[in-house]
């Protein structure tokens, strides 16, 4: 059973400057909810309530968000806004959240290595802090189900267009079922003609504790950083790894265009303003069409 999760959230968020100069990219809100709160909620919905967030310099607001703010709660109570008060209490009680700082930005692999004492000899989930995946069954739960069946490291993958494989970590291997692949290859951002498939790593993992000695042996790679993909490739020499093709839609909040698209999609789901917002979009599109004419 998977009891712990690790959320790496130490990156600088340079693609969102200047907004991320003094604010973590993981705290950028989709309407009124920080991105990382969706990620924590996925853990909780998957039955995991022991969560370690790997933070870094300038990330204190993440800790503050999941901490209690008694003064704010008292002010909300005075206004008798029960709905907001309940939301605040929910956030601070979502899970047992721990924090450790990655003092130097040495890559995703190095960030996960910081979790070795917290996770010990247990398998654990990893969820990237700037990626939201919307699904009926939480994606982390989907990976847990695969782990319980195969007792191996599990990587979440999704199908991407062939012309975009050079943007992702790509996997290759042998099919065990419609959704499960026994991995033989892991390639970081391959050229299209060298990609073994168009199945891209989707920012969710179940890792066994053997990842830690593999990370110790991993040499610095792309960007002079310790890459998780390189460590997983080392592990494949001695252990089996499976990939699960996820059911759900992934939203990469790490770039501005996808952030805008995500905000629009999530706004259209909100009952309190979905209809007027849809009307606004229709009027905007109509106006743009008229300008083209």
Task: Report d(CA 235, CA 137) in Å as an integer.
Answer: 29
Same domain, 281 and 200: no
Same domain, 177 and 267: no
- Mark 135-156 as b/e (b = at least 16 C-beta within 10 Å): beebbbbbbbebbeebebbbbb
Same domain, 12 and 102: yes
Same domain, 10 and 45: yes
Same domain, 135 and 259: no
Residue 201: what pLDDT?
A: 93
What residues have CB less than 8 Å from 252, skipping those under 6 apart?
130, 131, 203, 258
DSSP characters for 167-191? GSEEEEEEESSSSEEEEEEEEES--
Flag residues of the chain having pLDDT under 50: none
Per-residue model confidence as pLDDT tens digits over 41-93? 999 999 999 999 999 887 889 999 999 899 998 899 888 888 899 999 999 99
Same domain, 160 and 114: yes
3-state secondary structure of 215: helix
Same domain, 244 and 291: no
| Nearest CA-CA partner of 172 in 150, 151, 152, 157 | 157
For the question of whether the overall pTM of this predicted structure is more than 0.75, the answer is: yes
Residue 187: what pLDDT?
A: 87
CB 198 within 8 A of CB 160: yes
Same domain, 170 and 208: yes
Same domain, 242 and 120: yes
Same domain, 96 and 21: yes
Helices H / strands E in the chain, number of each: 11, 13
| Nearest CA-CA partner of 129 in 2, 226, 42 | 42
> CATH no. for residue 221?
3.90.550.10
Any idea which residue has 């790894």 for tokens?
241
Alpha carbon of residue 45 to chain centroid = 14
Tally the domains of the chain: 2
Same domain, 102 and 140: yes
Residues of the domain holding 265? 255-293
Same domain, 15 and 106: yes
Per-residue model confidence as pLDDT tens digits over 15-29? 888 888 888 889 999
């Amino acid at each position: 059973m998977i009891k712990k999760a690790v959320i790496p959230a130490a990156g600088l968020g340079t693609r969102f400057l200047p907004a991320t100069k003094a604010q973590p990219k993981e705290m950028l809100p989709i309407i009124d909810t920080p991105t990382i709160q969706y990620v924590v909620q996925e853990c909780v919905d998957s039955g995991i309530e022991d969560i370690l967030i790997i933070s870094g310099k300038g990330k204190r607001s993440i800790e503050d968000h999941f901490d209690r703010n008694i003064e704010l709660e008292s002010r909300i109570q005075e206004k008798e806004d029960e709905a907001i008060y309940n939301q605040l209490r929910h956030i601070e009680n979502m899970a047992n959240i721990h924090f450790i700082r990655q003092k130097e930005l040495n890559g995703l692999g190095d960030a996960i290595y910081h979790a070795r004492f917290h996770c010990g000899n247990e398998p654990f989930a990893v969820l990237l802090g700037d990626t939201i995946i919307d699904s009926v069954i939480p994606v982390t739960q989907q990976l847990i189900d695969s782990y319980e069946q195969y007792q191996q490291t599990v990587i979440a993958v999704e199908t991407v267009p062939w012309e975009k494989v050079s943007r992702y970590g790509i996997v290759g291997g042998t099919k065990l079922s419609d959704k499960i692949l026994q991995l033989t290859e892991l390639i970081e951002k391959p050229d299209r003609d060298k990609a073994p498939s168009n199945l891209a790593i989707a920012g969710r993992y179940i890792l066994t504790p053997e990842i830690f000695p593999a990370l110790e042996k991993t040499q610095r790679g792309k960007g002079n950083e310790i890459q998780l993909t390189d460590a997983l490739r080392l592990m494949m020499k001695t252990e089996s790894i499976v990939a699960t093709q996820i059911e759900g839609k992934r939203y990469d909040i790490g770039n501005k265009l996808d952030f805008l698209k995500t905000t629009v999609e999530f706004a259209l789901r909100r009952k309190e303003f979905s209809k007027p917002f849809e009307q606004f979009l229709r009027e905007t599109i109509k106006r743009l069409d008229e300008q083209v004419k």
